[in-house]
Amino acid sequence: MASEAVIHVERLCKQYETAAGAVPVLRDVNLTIAPGEFVAVMGPSGSGKSTFMNILGCLDTPTSGSYVLNGKDVGTLDTDQLAQLRNEVIGFVFQGFNLLPRANLEDNVALPLVYRGVTKTARTAQALEMLEKVGLKGYGNSMSNQISGGQQQRAAIARALVNRPRLILADEPTGNLDTATSREIMHLFTRLNKEDGITIVLVTHEHDIAAYAKRLVQFVDGRVVHDGAVTHLEEAPA
């Protein structure tokens, strides 16, 4: 049922107005993602997948159609309510890590808790717990420029986890990493999905990365052209 879904979009459309007229980006997208799913989103450049992820993350709004996130109709919420829903339900992981260079890892990971008014003591405890969870125990005082790219992405994942979200939205999370480090990050996502039951939606252009997911959604020209099991991609490395 849609009411039980983490994500439910129905007849979702998005277009941008330009001097040459309206440019459609998403066309009549229907999609439901249940709790605990691991979904890879793929598509060529300009297919609409990034716009779709921005809408899922409440960073953009559709032109028409509906989006229900964790049982709440996003279209009925004001700016403050949207920000609260984002903060409580979604953890974001980006290709570029987006860590603050002048803050240590502990403070980077704790940052989302500042916006929720969590006390300093509780923020520190939760940040250190999440750093340990992603394999960075003892790195709390390290600066982001003192660690590797893989460790930076682990810290970014810890930051995404610190609010204990139901959903992680990951946009090309391995795009800046080498093959071996990419596998480590994907094994971490797999463990979070299996052991913690976190729903994961991951955008990638790499078939070997998408193969870690259990479901594949492919976009072409703003439409979903495939939605099903990850069966025709290379099997994920062990």
The per-residue pLDDT for 97 is: 83
pLDDT at 69 over 50: yes
Residue 140 near residue 162, CB atoms below 8 Å? no
Which has more confidence, 238 or 217?
217
Query: In the chain, pLDDT over 70 holds for what percent of residues?
Result: 96
Mean pLDDT, rounded, for 202-215: 94
The per-residue pLDDT for 234 is: 53
What is the maximum span of the chain, computed from C-alpha positions, in angstroms?
55
The per-residue pLDDT for 1 is: 43
What is the residue-wise DSSP string for 85-123? HHHHHEEEEETT----TTSBHHHHHHHHHHTTT--HHHH
Domain borders along the chain are: 2-99+164-229
Between CA 219 and CA 168 the distance in angstroms is 20
Between CA 77 and CA 66 the distance in angstroms is 12
Which has more confidence, 4 or 223?
223
Helices (H), ranges, 37-78: 49-56
Between CA 130 and CA 146 the distance in angstroms is 19
Mean pLDDT, rounded, for 63-78: 95
pLDDT digits (tens, 9 = 90+) for 125-152: 999 999 999 999 999 999 988 899 999 9
Residue 109 near residue 118, CB atoms below 8 Å? no
Domain 2-99+164-229 indexed as CATH 3.40.50.620:
no
The per-residue pLDDT for 71 is: 93
Pairing of strands 7-18, 72-73: unpaired
